[in-house]
Every structure is written in structure tokens, then in C-alpha cells.
Amino acid sequence: MQEEGTPQKTPKKYIWIIVILALVILILIRALLFKSRPNSANNARGDGSRPISSPSGSQQSSSEEQNCSADSVKFTKEFTDWDKIDAFQPLGSITGASRGRSYIGIKKGQEVPVYAPADATLVSVIYAYRGPDSDHGEYGFRFRVGCGVSILLDHLDSASDEMKKYAPAEPARSTANNDTLSIPVKAGTLLGYTNGTSMARTFDFLVMDQNRKAKYINPARWQWDQSLYSVCPYDFYPNDLKTKYYQKIGEPTDSGFIKADDCGNPSYDIDNTISGGWFLDDQATDTHGQFMLIGYRLNSVDVTIKSESENSILRVTNYQPKVLPKDVGIGESVCYSGFSNDWVYLSLIDAKTIEVQNGSGSCPTSKPTTTATKYYR
């Protein structure tokens, strides 16, 4: 019989039961905590920022896309000196290097500053000669903004001291550049200065939105991201600034400013007409092979045949067209002549086939007898 006040010993089997129960409870607690923890892949940077699509095609995670909308992306700072600008040209330039860019016309003799329009992440800096005869490099700045939206501000003559730190030391002969940077940049940050390109006095504003895709009759033909995802830069501004920019969307000419009806579109495709893109063979796309673009913009009809390197093989601009491409249907023909005394004769055979003939001098009064080249949708 045990004396009063002497502690009783706990049988060993109960000690093991208590230990096992404690381990089970600990395992359940850890499992519940792990399940409720955010996915570390979606917050790898630890600052709450979202990985987003860049112009080079990197993709945002599907879980983040569900909580992200391009409508939430806003530009908060003006990107240049509005008073020194002749015009903000609409998207859709067939004769320029990209139909997705808005070309910014600078008043003669002026130089303008260029700023970041929004809080963004700098992903690459281009510093390259533009053209074989160029004797100085030009800068381009590429940013990710958020929710699949990206920006390129291009053709700057100089970079600010802050931005120059991230640029190559010497200009390259190619504008090819990988998005290897990840530098936070605040809205309103000075990027540099420019008086525009030597011939056109313009610099470029490109915005791409991976959530919106341009519409084409044969989507398989269009593979360049600037053909697919380019959108109007000025639509991202609040209404007061958007209205201000829209006042100057158009093109200055010797006879006065021509105001555009809207901000434009990279696609000119209109079914059962000659308007839009045409391709030399079944394999041709806008990044491979030979293709033709036909469209009406501001006061002119443009017809351009390009190689995959974007070099123009044929270029005709008619500033006083009697018939617009959208009005030329199946079984009909039209001739456009340019200021360089060249002409191009276009005949729509069916919805997917067009015949092209061209020459020098004045437009022929009837279909030429020369061999025609066929292009296809």
C-alpha cells in the first residue's frame, strides 16, 4: 500500500499513447498551416507584385490572371511635352515599321523630354544605330506595367543619367534585345530627350495588351506580337488627359492638320474587299515570306509589299483616292498611283485571292496585259 503524499507513477503504456497523440496533433496542425499558405511561386519576389506578360512573350501565371484585369492599368503622368508636339499619329501606319505604334510628331526645331507614363518595371534598354548610314545610337525603353500590359518608348536621342546606368555602353547594329532587367520605375521618371528621327521627326509609343487581340480574317497569318496585341496608348489615361491627347490624334500636312476619327487599329482586314493583308503563298505570314498590306488612313490609301525583314519591295501612297479599298469588292479592280510616279493595279478575284500588277507612269485606264502576281488571305 502506497503512503499518502507519494506521487503515483504513470504506467509506461499511457506515456506512449500520449506521445503518439501529440505527434498526430502536430502533423495535423502543420498540414492545415501549409494548405492555407500562399503559393510561393506567385509571390517569389516577396513584395506582392504580380508576374506579367512582357513583349518577349513571358506569361503570367493563371492564378494571378484570374485576379488581374488590364482595365485596372492606368497611366498617371504625361509622357512628353504636349505643347511641342505636332500630332499623335493613330495606329495602323502601313508605310512605317510597325502598324501597332503611335508615331509622335515633334514640331520642327524642338526637342522634347520623354517620361515614364506609369509605375512600371524596366525590362530592357535598346541602344542601337538605326539604319546603315546612322552615325549615332538611339535609345528605346521597354517596360512591363501590369496585367499583361507592356510599353515601348523608342527613338530617343539621349538617355537621362538614371536610365543610362541600365543601357549598353556602346550602340549596337541590331535592336534585338532580351528582357533581362527588372528595375522598378516610378511614373514621371525622366527617360531622356529626342527631336525625333532624322526624316520624319517622330518617336514611337507602343503599348501592347496581351488580353486583347486584333481581329483578322485568317488569324494564322498574323504572328508578330505587335500585329496582334497593339492598342491605343492614350486610352490608358484618365478622361481629362485622354481627351487632351485625342485632340491631336492625326497628322500635320502642308495644308493643315488632318484629325483622325479614332486612335486606329493594326488590322485593316475587311472581308470580301481588297482592304487588309494578303500573302504570297500558303506558308507566308507577317513574320515569314512576302506579304502585302492595303489600307486607308487619314487622307491616303497605302499599298505596301514587304519581305519578312519588313523591307518594302513596293510602296505606293495615293493622297487623292477616288475609290477606297473597302469599296472594292469581288470581281472589281482599282488602280492607285503614288507621288513617286509608280502605280499598282489590284483585282479581287474572290474573297481569298487578289491579283497585283504594277508599273511606272500614270495608272492604266483598263486592266494591264502584263503578268499578274496572286496573293492570298
Q: Which grid coordinates belong to 102?
A: 503611335
Could you give the 3-state DSSP secondary structure of residue 122?
Answer: strand
The predicted model gives 306-319 an average pLDDT of: 82
Given a cut of 80, is residue 11 above it in pLDDT? no
Report whether pLDDT(207) > 90: yes
What per-residue confidence (pLDDT) applies to 4? 40
Positive or negative torsion for Cα 73, 74, 80, 86: positive
Q: Which tens digit of pLDDT belongs to each residue from 333-372?
A: 999 999 888 999 999 999 999 999 999 999 999 999 999 9
Contact 154, 140 (CB under 8 A): yes
- The residue type of 83 is D
- CB 349, CB 369: distance < 8 Å: no
What the block records as the C-alpha cell of 79 is 509622357
What pLDDT digit, counting tens, does each position of 252-285 carry? 887 889 999 999 999 999 999 999 999 999 999 9
The class level of CATH for 49-267 reads mainly beta
Contacts of 363 (CB under 8 A, 6+ apart): 335, 336, 337, 343, 345
Q: Based on C-alpha coordinates, what's the Rg of the chain?
A: 29
Q: Are 112 and 193 in contact (CB under 8 A)?
A: yes
% of the chain with per-residue pLDDT over 90: 70
- As to burial, measured by CB atoms within 10 angstroms (0-12 exposed, 13-18 middle, 19+ buried), residue 113 is middle
Band the pLDDT of 97: cuts 50, 70, 90: confident
In the predicted model, what is the mean pLDDT of residues 82-95? 95
C-alpha pair distances (Å), 208 with each of 104, 126, 184:
17, 17, 19
Backbone angles phi and psi of 65, in degrees to 5: -60, -35
**Tens of pLDDT, residues 116-145:** 999 999 999 999 998 667 788 999 999 999
- Residue 164 pLDDT exceeds 80: yes
Mean pLDDT of 3-31: 55
Confidence of residue 10 (pLDDT cuts 50, 70, 90): very low
Q: Mean pLDDT, to the nearest integer, of 95-112?
A: 94
* pTM for this model (two decimals): 0.80
Check residue 179 and give its pLDDT.
Answer: 85
Task: Output the average pLDDT for the chain.
Answer: 85
Give the model's pLDDT for residue 14. Answer: 58
Does residue 27 have a pLDDT over 80? no
pLDDT of residue 253: 80
Q: What is the mean pLDDT of residues 180-200?
A: 95
